[in-house]
Chains A and B, each alone.
Chain A
């Protein structure tokens, strides 16, 4: 579709054609991303950290294990508990997965490769990603199960507590970039300079390391990854809001969890690690449409590595410790970060 030598789109597409292609690409990307993260980190990295091999039978090195699992889930009976609120029960996984897919539309992987570069980019991305909490609460309540209800309530309490540090940590980046547009944020990092040296631009992780730190902790909590996995804690409430789900509806929650991990890693890469820009290229160079996705993939895998490393390393928090960490440490810290960033921006 893109010819780097000409520097233009070789084919002009009508609006509806373009939209249809984008929908197709993102719809294929979400399960692929979930499979990659699930295989590389959940199956293989965790196994190696625990001195075992992990799945080895389905395909070379067990690479098709999750595909086989998915095919198995599709053949499982779709059970609605007799006491459940059927309509809400059926819609909950769809709400969660749609919220994940909408984040993908907003994340740019090249100068022209973005679902839609809206002006409110980062704000909209954070907003649509938090819709998933409604889906989780729907699942927890409609199952008419005590475990599910407790799980849904825990999820809601946790996600509202960590939504704030997540949003406030990003404000520092927005102050520095002067725009909410994700493409603008990438451009601001590419044209930035470190004490007058512009060789690698100025990734915001250098100036916003406090913001990055808060952002990653909040992401860990938003994803309900292990130090913060009380909503699905197997040893306490069996599986939380997922208890009554079977077959493909259960798989939808899995896809959404890992798909969102990939999306948030992508958001972290765009906001703090320079996004798709490669040092040495002009910001609008057409070559970046080819190199950008590769660079983004490497950065996303690097960020995901840390997310899953923490997941496999730390034990679970207690519910009160979780709330105390958000309200007494992260929120004051992120407010201070905003003020300090603002002062430095105006003074220098």
Chain B
């Protein structure tokens, strides 16, 4: 296996073992803690009063346009990182290319701003 893949394998093994470790600690706690079932304990907590209505109540997701913008800008960040590591080789050409790219994105942000979607509704 190449060095490149091996370093990511370490991280994958690591993630797997971390899940197992936390599972073991949670399982070990089972030996220490009491379990005394009472119906009232399993009610939904609403500051002491009885829960009203359906617990999975509808919530207005006020920021879905922010979330859409986030997807765009995060993809942009993925493009900027490889460019940033190689800027020295690209020189002026790479700089102007990326300046145009960032300018267009900034224009998009400005458009969203002018359209008043960057507002908490």
Contact = CB atoms under 8 A, between A and B. Distances in A.
Interface of A: 15, 19, 22-23, 26-27, 74-83, 93-94, 97-98, 101-102, 105-106, 115-119, 123-124, 141, 144-147, 149-150, 153, 157, 160-161, 163-164, 167-168, 171, 174-175, 178-180, 238, 243-244, 247-249, 252, 319-320, 323-324, 327-328, 331-332, 335, 338-339, 342-343, 345-346
Nearest to B121: A320
A175 B43 CA distance: 54
A81 to B, nearest CB: 6
Contacts of B35: 77-78
A319 B106 CA distance: 24
A323 B66 contact: yes
Given A75-B32, A160-B66, A345-B87, A94 B77 contact: no
Given A74-B33, A323-B120, A339-B102, A167 B66 contact: no
B89 to A, nearest CB: 9
A116 B7 contact: yes
Given A74-B29, A74-B32, A342-B99, A146 B118 contact: no
Contacts of A115: 10-11, 14
Nearest to A91: B19
Contact of B81 (A76, A116, A123): A123
A19 B7 contact: no
A193 B4 CA distance: 31
8 contacts: A27-B17, A27-B21, A75-B32, A77-B33, A97-B22, A141-B56, A145-B46, A167-B74
Given A81-B42, A105-B10, A180 B30 contact: no
Contacts of A22: 10, 14
A19 B88 contact: no
B95 A76 contact: no
Contact of B33 (A101, A175, A247): A247
Given A77-B36, A145-B46, A167-B74, A346 B92 contact: yes
Contacts of B10: 19, 22, 105, 115-116
A77 B38 CA distance: 12
A164 B77 contact: yes
A23 B47 CA distance: 41
B106 A332 contact: yes
A46 B67 CA distance: 35
A128 B70 CA distance: 17
B111 interface: no
B81 A153 contact: no
B44 A324 contact: no
Contacts of A94: 19, 22-23, 26
Given A76-B33, A146-B46, A327-B118, 11 more contacts: A22-B14, A26-B14, A105-B11, A119-B7, A146-B55, A163-B74, A171-B81, A249-B26, A327-B113, A331-B109, A346-B91
